[in-house]
Amino acid sequence: MGYTGGSTVNPTYYRLGDHTESVQIDFGPARVTYEELVEMFFGFHDPTRSAHKRQYMSAIFVHNPDQERVVGMVASRVQGGLARPIQTQVLPLEKFYLAEDYHQKYALQGDRLLAKEFRAMYPGIWDLVDSTAAMRVNAYLYGYGSAERLASEIDGFGLSEAGKARLRAASPAGKCPVV
């Protein structure tokens, strides 16, 4: 979680300036392609919605012309099935600023038991931010993933039996796939 697309140096949630709240995704192209990520992005929200503030606009910040080409190709395909025009902006990524620690892994940090277990594994917030297990648990808490997928990987998260039970009970899994 962070901020990008604006001119304010070192933005914060309360001094955002003209930045947009964003996520930066590190991915392995052998596992998931950039095109697949862009398709997921368009599938996870309404790209025809116009944002009331730049802070919440739909945007993809690209690193290079090839990524821009892929976004355009996917957007054209998606637009064909929509009644209204896509509002998602495609902009060059200049600098990404990490958001404050309290914005990171927000659902996970908001769950008392799971947060306590992850703090024991990752005492530093930025180690938690970099944790793939924390990312996946946070996604499950938001409803991304299937119950089958959760069952297949829950033992790899390092949770106690109580933590596993809490995640199973708290996770509205099944809304959409987690890669």
- CATH number assigned to the domain with residue range 2-98, chosen from the 4 options 2.60.40.10, 3.40.640.10, 3.30.1060.10, 3.30.1360.120: 3.30.1060.10
**pTM (2 decimals)?**
0.81
Calculate the CA 64 to chain-centre distance.
20
Strand partners, 12: 15
C-alpha distances in Å from residue 62, one per residue of 33, 58, 153: 14, 13, 31
pLDDT exceeds cutoff 60 at 98: yes
For the chain, give every residue range classified as CATH 3.30.1060.10. 2-98
Which amino acid, 26?
A: D
Tell me what the mean pLDDT of segment 126-153 comes to: 91
H or E stretch at 75: helix 65-79
> Is residue 17 within 8 Å of residue 4, measured between CB atoms?
no
Give the DSSP letter string of 82-109: -SS----EEEE---EEEPPGGGTTHHHH
Q: How high is the pLDDT of residue 172?
A: 66
pLDDT band at 146 (very low <50, low <70, confident <90, very high): confident
179, pLDDT greater than 90: no
